[in-house]
Amino acid sequence: MTIDLRSDTVTKPTEGMLQAIMNAQTGDDVYKEDPTVNELERRVADFLGMDEALFFPTGSMANQAAIKLHTQPGEQLICDKWAHVYNYEGGGVSFNSGVSCKLVDGDRGMITAQQVRESINPPDFYHSPLTSLVCLENTTNKGGGACYDLAEIEKIKEVCDTHKLGFHLDGARLMNALVATGEDPKRYGKMFDTVTLCFSKGLGTPLGTVLAGTSELMKNAIRVRKILGGGMRQVGFMAAAGLFALDNNVDRLAEDHKKALNIADVLSHAPYVSKVERTETNIVIFYLAEGVNEEKFMTDLENQQIRISNMGQGKLRVVTHLDYTNTMHDKFLSVLKNYA
Ligand SMILES: *Cc1c(COP(=O)(O)O)cnc(C)c1O
Q: What is the CATH number of the domain that holds 271?
A: 3.90.1150.10
**Ligand 1 mean position to 59 CA, how many Å?**
5
**Ligand 1 mean position to 7 CA, how many Å?**
11
Residues 259, 230 share a domain: no
Residues touching ligand 1 (Cβ under 6 Å) are: 58-60, 63, 84, 137, 141, 170, 172, 198, 200-201, 209
How far apart (Å, rounded) are the C-alpha atoms in residues 136 and 155?
13
Taking CA atoms only, the protein residue closest to ligand 1 atom 4 is: 59
**Ligand 1 mean position to 167 CA, how many Å?**
18
**Ligand 1 mean position to 172 CA, how many Å?**
6
Q: Would you give per-residue pLDDT tens digits along the chain (340 residues)? A: 899 999 999 999 999 999 999 999 999 999 999 999 999 999 999 999 999 999 999 999 999 999 999 999 999 999 999 999 999 999 999 999 999 999 999 999 999 999 999 999 999 999 999 999 999 999 999 999 999 999 999 999 999 999 999 999 999 999 999 999 999 999 999 999 999 999 999 999 999 999 999 999 999 999 999 999 999 999 999 999 999 999 999 999 999 999 999 999 999 999 999 999 999 999 999 999 999 999 999 999 999 999 999 988 789 999 999 999 999 999 999 999 999 8
Residues 331, 266 share a domain: yes
Beta bridge partners of 55: 210
Q: Which atom of ligand 1 is nearest to the CA of 89?
A: 8
Residues 220, 293 share a domain: no
**Number of separate domains in the chain:** 2
Among 195, 228, 248, which residue terminates a domain?
248
Burial class from Cβ neighbours inside 10 Å (0-12, 13-18, 19+) for residue 290 reads: exposed
Residues 139, 44 share a domain: yes
Q: What is the pTM of this model?
A: 0.97
The domain of 96 spans: 15-248
**Ligand 1 mean position to 122 CA, how many Å?**
31
Residues 213, 121 share a domain: yes
Contact 336, 263 (CB under 8 A): yes
